[in-house]
């Protein structure tokens, strides 16, 4: 239960975590590994306060997935994400991904379910203190996501 909660919180707050990364210790640094283009379609919403803070629309929609990792090599995270996306499509929000990844706890994020919330932003896998996540990042490029990590703002132009 605790692992599922950690995964849910990690994925739901991934953009906010990237915005705060500069204040994080090296042990909790989130690596922005890359993007998977032409993945499954996603359609989800940020909490309105987070969207306002980032200066972007609350709704994110598209089929580009950004892969992030903490204490996991990016090559591993990128390789394992594509098959997990196929499982993500079939899973309900908050459910474990089946069959998942041997030795890891993998789940689909519940997403923001408050006012105007819809969809799941992605998922993630946890093994001890190792974590990798994948989030449907809509029209945002890898450069924009990296700028978010560096500055706390997601540029839209």
pLDDT tens sequence across 61-110:
899 999 999 999 999 999 999 999 999 999 998 899 999 999 999 999 98
**Residue 154: predicted pLDDT:** 66
CA torsion, ordered 157, 12, 88, 90, to nearest 10 deg = -110
In a domain, 111, yes or no: yes
In a domain, 157, yes or no: no
Instruction: List the domain range (segments joined by +) for residue 61.
Output: 2-151
**Token pair listed for 21:** 């990364």
Rounded average pLDDT over 149-157: 69
**Residue 16: predicted pLDDT:** 41
For tokens 């079939």, what's the residue? Answer: 90
On the question of pLDDT at 119 being above 70, the answer is yes
Helix (H) or strand (E) holding 16: helix 14-19
**What domain count does the chain have?**
1
In a domain, 120, yes or no: yes
**Residue 21: predicted pLDDT:** 41
Strand order in the sheet with 31-36: 31-36, 65-70, 130-136, 122-127, 105-108
pLDDT band at 37 (very low <50, low <70, confident <90, very high): very high
Residues near 142 by Cβ (< 8 Å), separated by ≥ 6? 32, 34, 35, 66
Contact 80, 123 (CB under 8 A): no
Phi-psi sector, 122: left (phi>0), alpha (psi -120 to 50), beta: left
Q: Which residue has the higher pLDDT, 8 or 115?
A: 115
In a domain, 97, yes or no: yes
Q: Which residue has the higher pLDDT, 5 or 50?
A: 50
In a domain, 89, yes or no: yes
In a domain, 156, yes or no: no
In a domain, 142, yes or no: yes
User: What is residue 19's three-state secondary structure?
Assistant: helix
């Amino acid at each position: 239960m605790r692992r599922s909660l950690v995964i849910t919180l990690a994925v739901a707050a991934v953009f906010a975590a990237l915005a705060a990364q500069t204040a994080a210790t090296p042990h909790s640094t989130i690596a922005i590994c890359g993007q998977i283009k032409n993945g499954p379609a996603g359609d989800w919403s940020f909490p309105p306060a987070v969207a306002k803070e980032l200066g972007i629309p609350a709704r994110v929609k598209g089929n580009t997935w950004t892969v992030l990792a903490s204490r996991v090599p990016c090559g591993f995270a990128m390789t394992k994400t594509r098959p997990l996306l196929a499982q993500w499509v079939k899973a309900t929000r908050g459910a474990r991904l089946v069959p998942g990844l041997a030795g890891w706890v993998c789940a689909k994020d519940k997403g923001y379910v408050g006012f105007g919330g819809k969809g799941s932003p992605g998922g993630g896998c946890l093994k001890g203190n190792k974590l990798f996540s994948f989030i449907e990042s809509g029209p945002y490029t890898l450069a924009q996501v990296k700028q978010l990590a560096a500055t706390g703002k997601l540029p839209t132009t």
